[in-house]
Amino acid sequence: MAVPKKDKIFVALQFLVFIAWIVEMEAWSFKLSSNLSALSFIVAVIGLVLVLIAFLQLNTNLSPFPSPKKGAKLVTGGVFAFARHPIYSGILFMAFGISIWLGSGYKLAISVLLYLLFYFKSRYEEQRLAEAFPDYDVYKTRTGRFFPKFKGRI
């Protein structure tokens, strides 16, 4: 099965944003307290752990493209019970956490662009998933896109 053109465009854009994030602009740097710096580093590590767990749980269903692989199964357990796109969530935690930890306003701005890209990529991905998996719409109502949905009173 050929990869749809829109899938390739999203992956290419994501690659370009990752490259842009690696670049540094000293003029946009800022200083942080040691507590905030440590907290942002912890957020980045949590993001890395989340990505690794989601990779392992997807197993053979893993693909860089938004469209599900032929013969893929819908994964709704583990970290996917809390967020529909935990890999994107983890990458965002890493990008924002490292940006703040390094005191880089530039990387922080690129992280916002990455969030926007992931938002639109996930919307497209969810259309494709709903076409492939009849249960996806039910899963979508009970699970948040990037972060857990909190139900009831706290």
pLDDT per position as a tens digit, 110-152: 999 999 999 999 999 999 999 999 999 999 999 999 999 876 5
pLDDT single digits (tens) 29-57: 888 888 888 999 999 999 999 999 999 99
Reference 54, options 15, 88, 95, 93; nearest CA is: 88
CB-based contact 79:34 (threshold 8 Å): no
**Residue type present at position 103:** G
Selection from 47, 33, 58 nearest residue 90 by Cα:
47
pTM of the complete model beyond 0.85:
yes
In-domain check, residue 129: yes
Using DSSP's 3-state secondary structure scheme, residue 120 falls into helix
Number of domains present in the structure of the chain: 1
Compute how many other C-beta atoms are within 10 angstroms of the C-beta atom of residue 22. Answer: 8
Q: Is 81 part of a structural domain of the chain? A: yes
Q: Is residue 9 in a domain?
A: no
Q: Residue 28: inside a domain, yes or no?
A: no
Residue 56 lies in a domain: yes
Assigned domain for 7 exists = no
Structural domain includes residue 23: no
Domain range spanning residue 106?
Answer: 34-62+74-147
Residue 78 lies in a domain: yes
